[in-house]
Amino acid sequence: MLLSDTEVISRVLSHIDNQTTDLGDRDWQEPVENYSSMARFNAELKLMRHLPVPFCPTAALPENGSYVARVAAGVPIVVVRTMDGTIRAFRNACRHRGMQVVQGSGCAKVLKCGYHGWAYRLDGRLEHIPHDYGFPDFDKDTHGLVPVTAEVKNGLVFVTQEEPLTRAPLLDTPVMMPADYQIFDSRENTSDINWKLNIEATMEGYHIKPTHPETFYPYGYDNLNVVETNGINSRITFPFRRIEKLREVPEAERKIDRMVTYVYNIFPFASVAVLSNHTSITISEPISPTMTRFVNYKMGPARDDDAEALQRAKKDASFVADTGLLEDNAVIRAIQAGLASGANTHFTYGRFEKAIVHLHKNLAEQLQSLNQFG
């Protein structure tokens, strides 16, 4: 159970007064080879196929016929909103010769393979085979798109590709954004780094002052965070200095809006950052031990009748992307380069890095469960 906003505010003010921060109860040593080993990478990818993991926000499927297609845990997947509004997910492969039936995102009444024109309904059923007399004994009813499990929770679509190992990541997901938020920007990019290095950078404030001395630090604090675990997920609170204004507000009337950034880690590779004027969803999709594709959605109150709110959201997002994230990316790339130095056999995560310890502990346990699962 996560703290209420009021409880978070009180804890932050207490940390400011006492010059403290939330601490973990243990250290963790993570072998460096776990960031470069192909065997470990393959095990992590296999695990992800047995977990309900975030695929996209529901806002990416705004109308019936909307679809999003990409590779998830090494497998082409398409998520679609059907004509009755239900969200479904399928393996993105034509049942004729295996070509992906759609790519990217869009809206369509049928999903049509571009190779020979085989067409599928939005519920996955095979609708049409051109020149079907060439397949006289073919059973269309048993050759629809192969489904995988799609579930919606608090504005996100979760996909489980294989028999589920656990439901904890889905069931422990809290409400992270208003229901009326819309996407005002989405993009994908790849970087030559291990996926865990990016996630780790979002999970502690120990680095804020040395890494972001002129960007994030002037507005925030050095190594002052509220760190909560929620099942195998976590939430890290990064307070702004303006939270001091709430000391003069009666506790029952205090509002946390614009006073902190909440960063939710959804095990294992997704983060949802709730910032002052927008929410950023980042999915770190592993490609190889040394390459990651980042799928990012920026969301806010981007309604046509609220241009001012949209402008604030875009300005907020631009500041984060053009300053602090660039600094984080430079550090992450330097760590990736340093993996080959041979200087470290393991990385040591201390008490200030509670959420990262929680991630690695649960990742190790889930991988062990997968081995027993078979």
Indicate if 83 and 23 belong to the same structural domain: no
Indicate if 222 and 256 belong to the same structural domain: yes
Indicate if 202 and 144 belong to the same structural domain: no
Give this prediction's pTM: 0.94
Q: What is the pLDDT of residues 204-217, one digit of tens each?
A: 999 999 999 999 99
With 60 as the cut, is the pLDDT of residue 168 above it? no
With 90 as the cut, is the pLDDT of residue 324 above it? no
Indicate if 134 and 204 belong to the same structural domain: no
pLDDT at position 167: 60
pLDDT at position 242: 97
Indicate if 188 and 329 belong to the same structural domain: yes
Nearest CA to 74 among 54, 94, 46? 46
Total domain count, the chain = 2
Indicate if 262 and 117 belong to the same structural domain: no
Domain boundary, last residue among 147, 163, 179: 163
**Dist. CA 208–CA 343, nearest whole Å:** 25
Indicate if 12 and 92 belong to the same structural domain: no
User: 19: domain CATH number?
Assistant: 3.90.380.10
pLDDT at position 307: 78
Indicate if 203 and 274 belong to the same structural domain: yes
pLDDT at position 314: 87
Domain boundary, last residue among 163, 197, 215: 163
With 90 as the cut, is the pLDDT of residue 178 above it? no
Indicate if 333 and 201 belong to the same structural domain: yes
Residue 126 belongs to domain spanning: 53-163
Nearest CA to 96 among 69, 122, 74, 117? 117
Indicate if 208 and 262 belong to the same structural domain: yes
With 80 as the cut, is the pLDDT of residue 171 above it? no
Q: What is the mean pLDDT of residues 4-13?
A: 97
Domain boundary, last residue among 148, 163, 178: 163
Q: What is the pLDDT of residues 114-153, one digit of tens each?
A: 999 999 999 999 999 999 999 999 999 999 999 999 999 9
Q: What is the pLDDT of residues 57-108, one digit of tens each?
A: 999 999 999 999 999 999 999 999 999 999 999 999 999 999 999 999 999 9
Mean pLDDT of all residues belonging to the chain: 94
Indicate if 215 and 327 belong to the same structural domain: yes
pLDDT tier for residue 197 given thresholds of 50, 70 and 90: very high
With 80 as the cut, is the pLDDT of residue 302 above it? no
pLDDT tier for residue 310 given thresholds of 50, 70 and 90: confident
